Amino acid sequence: MKPVKKTSVKKSPSSKQALTIVAKPDPSKYTYRTFWSEEDHEYVGTCAQFPSLSHLDANQQDAFQGIVALVADVVADMTAKGEKVPLHDVRVFSGQFKVRIPTALHRRLVLEAEDMQISMNRLVSMRLAAD
DSSP letters, 58-99, are SSHHHHHHHHHHHHHHHHHHHHHTT---PPPP-----S----
Give the distance, in angstroms, between the CA of residue 82 and the centroid of all CA atoms in the same chain.
Answer: 25
Per-residue pLDDT, 18: 46
pTM given for the model: 0.58
Give the model confidence (pLDDT) of 19-73 as tens digits: 444 567 888 999 999 999 999 999 999 999 999 999 999 999 999 999 999 999 9
Distance (Å, whole) CA 42 – CA 62: 11
Q: How confident is the model at residue 87 (pLDDT cuts 50, 70, 90)?
A: confident
- Neighbouring residues of 59: CB distance < 8 A, sequence distance ≥ 6: 43
